[in-house]
Chains A and B, each alone.
Chain A
Amino acid sequence: MRFPFAAVPKSWYHLVWADELRAGETREVEAFGETITVHRAEDGVLSASPDRFPICEKNEMIWAYYDPAGEPPAFALMPLPELEDASFLPLGRVDRVFSSHVQEIVENAVDIAHYAAQHGFVGQATLGDFAPEAHAFRALVIAKKRVFGVTLPIQLAFEYCGMGFGVGRATGPLTLSNVVTCLPIDAHRIRMRFTIFAIVPRVPMLSAIIARLLRWHVWADVKGEIALFENKLYRERPLLSSSDGPIMKVRAWCRQFYPAEAA
């Protein structure tokens, strides 16, 4: 076993983007070790087969709730204010399947020590705040980052809602939100998707170029990390140093989404 916990913790998971399923359409999605067929009737009503998983439409995405015991959802999905704010422009999407576990992606957000080596942060990132509350947590990462050769101060505010839905909001000279949704496909693979929004100057042509550059930057920023996730080992007892983030605290928060171990 590569990971010392179940492949699918109980949470809401992003199946498809809402615009991928128009009225009257049916889609098959690989999730939780099986194939789930989602259907949108002409009247807009969603249904899924098998129908063990509650489904809903929220934040322009279609979600399924997984609970190994078949309990009803323990929490609701948080809203995305970016969708209500006209100044945010949708920049694009990323959709990748690789070998890992959803918890690796959650832990990665508060792993402040990896930003310098992996994402071109300059100097040491500091964690302004780590606040777990019930099924959600917030974390604030304060750092400097090189973007297209310029070093800019940046604040990264993370908000997680369950194990499959997180948002990273970068503020500073640049305002960009990356909605990170991870879906466990089976015991080995996850599907990671980004839905990216940013505030860019509304100048014809120019905004399209900026959007393209930013989308490219977001992808370039993480693509090297995928090989790392695919080949890394999950260390239950990592050897941590004083420069590490609250790895063990986020692990403690994650534990609530797994069935309690039999005593």
Chain B
Amino acid sequence: MNPALRIVDAAVESAELPIPNGWFAILSSRELKKKAVRPVRAFGKELVAFRGDDGRVTVLDAHCPHLGAHMGYGGKVVGDELQCPFHAWRFDKGGHCTHVPFAKKLPVARTRCWQVHETGGLIFVHHDRTGAPPATPPPDLSMFARWTRPIEDRSEYRGHPIEAAENVIDAGHFVYFHGAREPAALDFSANGATASMKTAFALGGLLSGVTAQMAVELYGPGLLFVRTKLLVDVVVITTPLPIEPGRTLFRMSVVAEKPRWFPLFGRIAAEIIRRRAAYDAKHERAIWEHKVYVPAPRLSSVDRHIQPFRRWYAQFL
């Protein structure tokens, strides 16, 4: 039988990929002010994030080892520690119990502590299914420190975080989703936990004749930059977060360079790109929501980057 005529049966061939290992943004810094406590759902688990008096962020497993209260609902920050709402047990930044009201002897109690790294207005934690320490250093967004303040756009979709990353190296879809006149010319290269891709595509319609430049940098499964130029450099910092198997929080933070000739223009450029990215994401989400992940896809010559990308991504699964 000619394999090209094989019918792909979604029910048989779609695969549930596991939640990947790596650094993922769970919250933006603005969502966690000093002394604030927030429940976080990520990696199919319940977590609690809090910011102590010293400004440092701690992320712990949410349920108190005592009688199981979720400390993200009603928990309080006392100094640099988290106090459970139920019986007022306290936990330090390492997740160790430091205080039990009226107890004659402190029980040896601990809730899991997650590795946290806060950078560029985002709070990252490291996830590993086996509990292994991070193989890669945490993301660094300090290069954007002098750029505009990030403007954010968030949405959820049903599916794996790989969809958000695979999408940017999918040349064929630029025609249908991003106004390209023909499939984008792509240049994909992988190096360890990072990968990059450059593309130039001719726009169609009203912008016919204009060539859009786009560079994508992927840092593990939880962070990718989409760099584009609108007189100034604009970067869409995209951080897909696996909330639970089959559910992803898609967060975009748009930052732009502040040009010396008109610093405010950076803000305007970032807002234009944010709108465009949010518009595209909204339409693409409809695809992501309902598509299946086909492990052995039928590819055409346009799609030659899909398999190298997947081989690179497999190191996180």
Asked if A and B are interacting partners, one says yes
A: residues with CB less than 8 A from B are 111, 113-114, 116-118, 123-124, 224, 227-228, 230-235, 238-244, 247
Docked Cα-Cα span, A118 to B75, in Å, equals 11
Contact A241 B63 (CB under 8 A): no
- Determine if B308 is an interface residue (Cβ-Cβ < 8 Å): no
Taking the nearest CB of chain A, how far is it from the CB of B119, in angstroms?
Answer: 30
Bound-complex Cα distance A13 to B231 (A): 70
Contacts of B66 in A (CB 8 A): 235, 238-241
Q: Answer whether residue B232 sits at the interface, using C-beta atoms and an 8 A cutoff.
A: no
B85 proximity list for chain A (CB < 8 A) = 117-118, 224, 228
Given contacts A117-B87, A118-B85, A247-B67, contact A242 B101 (CB under 8 A): no
Q: Are A232 and B63 in contact (CB under 8 A)?
A: yes
Task: List B residues 60-74 near A (Cβ within 8 Å).
Answer: 63, 65-70, 72-74
With A235-B67, A241-B66, A241-B105 already in contact, the answer to whether A113 and B87 are too (CB < 8 A) is yes
Interface presence of B100 (CB below 8 A): yes
A111, A224, A231: the one contacting B67 at CB < 8 Å is: A111
Min CB–CB distance B108 → chain A (angstroms) = 8
Instruction: Indicate if the CB atoms of B107 and A232 lie closer than 8 Å.
Output: no
Chain B residues lying within 8 Å of A239, measured Cβ to Cβ, are: 65-66, 107, 109
Give the distance in Å from the alpha carbon of A241 to the alpha carbon of B63 in the complex. Answer: 17
Contact B88–A241 (Cβ < 8 Å): no
Interface residue tally on B, bucketed by range: 20 to 34
With CB as the reference atom, state the residue of chain B lying closest to A231: B70
Q: Inside 8 A of A238's CB, which chain B residues have their CB? A: 65-68
- Of the listed residues A117, A238, A242, the one surrounded by the most CB atoms of chain B closer than 10 A to its CB is A117
10 pairs, A vs B, C-beta closer than 8 Å: A111-B87, A116-B102, A117-B85, A118-B86, A227-B73, A228-B73, A228-B86, A235-B66, A235-B68, A239-B107
Number of A-B residue pairs with CB-CB distance less than 8 Å in the complex they form: 81
Give Cα distance in the complex from A203 to B106, angstroms.
50
A117 / chain B contacts, CB cutoff of 8 Å: 84-88, 101
Interface of B (DSSP majority class): loop
Whether A116 contacts B101 by the Cβ 8 Å rule is: yes
Do A242 and B105 contact each other (CB < 8 Å), given the known contacts A118-B86, A228-B85, A228-B86?
A: yes
Which residues of chain B have C-beta atoms less than 8 A from A244's C-beta? Answer: 87
With both chains docked as a complex, state the minimum distance between the C-beta of A132 and any C-beta of chain B, in angstroms: 20
Q: Are A124 and B101 in contact (CB under 8 A)?
A: yes
Q: In whole angstroms, how far apart are the Cα atoms of A124 and B106 in the complex?
A: 16
Docked complex Cα distance between A240 and B87 (Å): 11
Say whether, besides A113-B102, A118-B85, A243-B101, A231 and B109 are in contact (CB < 8 Å): no
Q: Are B69 and A113 in contact (CB under 8 A)?
A: no
B100 near A241 with CB under 8 A, answer yes
Q: Contacts of B39 on A, CB cut-off 8 Å?
A: 231
Contacts A227-B74, A238-B68 known; A114 to B86 CB distance under 8 Å? yes
> In the complex, what distance in Å separates the CA atom of A224 from the CA atom of B75?
11
Residues of A within 8 A of B70 (CB): 228, 231-233
- Given A114-B86, A224-B74, 17 more A-B residue pairs with CB atoms under 8 Å apart are A111-B87, A113-B102, A114-B87, A117-B84, A117-B87, A123-B102, A124-B101, A228-B70, A231-B39, A231-B69, A232-B86, A234-B68, A239-B107, A241-B106, A241-B107, A242-B105, A243-B100
